[in-house]
A and B are shown apart, each in its own frame.
Chain A
Amino acid sequence: MPMYIALTYTPDVDWTQPEYAEEMKEYAAFGEAAAAVLRGGHALYPTATATTVRVPGGKGGEAVTTDGPYTETKEALTGFYLLECADLDEAVAVAARIPAAWNGAVEIRPVIRF
């Protein structure tokens, strides 16, 4: 069966703060409801904790880091799920139940299986 990654894009949030407890419950409820197709996933710390790494000198060169996410946007990557679904229709139906779908957007991409 195809595997999909569902990337959640929402306003930047710090899931460890108590004000997000209610929202976390919604995600937990989704996790239970979609348990049959969930193959993994995590919430991410806010973009303020992100580090972007590049090696401009090419392979083996010195790593250069910048403080912050790859792109600064209004909505940030705040988490991801791995879904194993029969096809894109099923993956869309599952993604539509992730709270991020109404708080922002969910991008689903097929995962290459070698």
Chain B
Amino acid sequence: MAAGDAVALLVREERTRVLATLIRVTGSVDLAEDAVQDAVERALLTWPRDGVPAEPRAWLLVTAKRRAIDVIRREARRPAKEWDAVALHDPSPESPGVVRDDLLRLVFTCCHPCLSLETQVSLALRTLAGLSTAEVARALVVPEATMAKRLTRAKQKIARAGIPYRVPAAEELPGRLAGVAATVYLVFNEGYAPGEGADLVRGALADEAVRLARLLAGLMPDEPTVLGLLALLLLQDARRGARTDAEGRPVLLADQDRTRWDRAMIREGVRLLGAALHRTPDRPDPYVVQAAVAACHALAPSWAQTPWDAVVSWYDVLLTVHDTPVVRLNRAAAVSERDGPGGGLALVEALDGLEVYPWWHAGRAELLHRLGRAQEARAACERAAALGMSAPQLEHLRRRVSAPPG
């Protein structure tokens, strides 16, 4: 790695921490982002030339605070309290405990339930992950101007509507934490299985989601939701290299070359899963249970040797805390592997409310195909197509239903 790249990586790692502290100190997301951006640019300019300072985070924080003070001096219209806060604040390095709390505040503010989910995802990528507005726009397939407007509105709402910069109290923490996990999981899924377009895996987004989940696990190492989330992302992402063939076409889990799965990620995911299960003796956590399903697949030597009984049992547990038609669909797929396509199809067809979901039709298509009901399988396949299944997935499904059953 070139010196410049190492510096860029270090700066990006520290940037979010410095930003989190500066938002608390100045009380303004906008001012803090402006000041931190300035400090980051200075670091990228001077560190590769003069060497990285002994305390990179403290250097960034002091530089950003100076910039914030300059901006406040120039803009006399800023409220006096912002000025006081920055001026009075001792520019010595923050203790690790304070930095941790500031980061947590930032996490819970960006994922506040009074912001729309798409806004939360955008803020998580822009403010927590530190991507540029242009990068966030590209990743979420939105025009850059639209994304800039969305982020500006979000910051205005945080400031004007008084979304607090605070870690939720213990009694509301589980609910709020579930919201944070949902946001990060959505970032991951955007990267993992986009609804449309030929680009099957937008790996950069999956990387950001894993990075965000790691950040959360570092901040809250005893929260099962967070451990389960990171485990789930690692266990799913471990398959990334095997999910597409040389031409970029999707390869189903059943057909994947398991030697191409990332063993280190699987080991880490299984270890986290164990720690998370250990911490949820009373009430199952949806992310932990989904990670357990992913671990059943990750540890099976082949598709045929998948422990389907265990997979179905985990889905039964999941249904006790997260009963959705999509979970029932996945359970039906596992049942069809255990008991044969007939039983699975009956379960799939008994599900209500999934007619608009392409995967429901795709699942039916696969099972009808296995049962030799070719015409119905092709019709189901076309319904999936009409509902916007991604192009490579669709091509795979069409090939599948036009092949002989088996």
Q: Is the interface of A mostly helix, strand, loop or mixed?
A: mixed
> Are A89 and B160 neighbours in the complex by a CB distance under 8 Å?
no
* Residue from the list B112, B162, B164 in contact with A110, Cβ < 8 A: B162
**Does B114 have its Cβ within 8 Å of any Cβ on chain A?**
yes
* Residue from the list A4, A85, A88 in contact with B163, Cβ < 8 A: A88
Residue interface bits A88-114, CB-to-B below 8 A is 1, else 0: 110110000000000000000110000
A89 to B163, CA, bound (A): 7
Chain A residues in 8 Å Cβ range of B160: 110
Chain B residues in 8 Å Cβ range of A109: 161
Residue interface bits B85-120, CB-to-A below 8 A is 1, else 0: 000000000000000000000000000101000000
Chain B residues in 8 Å Cβ range of A68: none
Q: How many residues on B have C-beta within 8 angstroms of the other chain's C-beta atoms?
A: 8
Q: How many residues on A have C-beta within 8 angstroms of the other chain's C-beta atoms?
A: 11
> Are B114 and A87 neighbours in the complex by a CB distance under 8 Å?
no
Closest chain A CB from B31 CB (angstroms): 19
Residue interface bits A64-92, CB-to-B below 8 A is 1, else 0: 00000000000000000000011111011
Residues of B166-200 contacting chain A, CB below 8 A = 166
Chain A residues in 8 Å Cβ range of B163: 87-89
A89 to B161, CA, bound (A): 10
Closest chain B CB from A4 CB (angstroms): 8
**Does A40 have its Cβ within 8 Å of any Cβ on chain B?**
no
**Does A2 have its Cβ within 8 Å of any Cβ on chain B?**
yes
Chain B residues in 8 Å Cβ range of A87: 162-164, 166
A89 to B112, CA, bound (A): 10
Closest chain A CB from B77 CB (angstroms): 13
Having A88-B112, A89-B166, one finds 14 other A-B pairs with CB under 8 Å, namely A2-B162, A4-B162, A85-B162, A87-B162, A87-B163, A88-B114, A88-B161, A88-B163, A88-B164, A89-B163, A89-B164, A92-B114, A110-B160, A110-B161
**23 residue pairs from A and B, CB less than 8 Å apart:** A2-B162, A4-B162, A85-B162, A86-B162, A86-B164, A87-B163, A87-B164, A87-B166, A88-B112, A88-B114, A88-B161, A88-B162, A88-B163, A88-B164, A89-B163, A89-B164, A89-B166, A91-B162, A92-B114, A109-B161, A110-B160, A110-B161, A110-B162
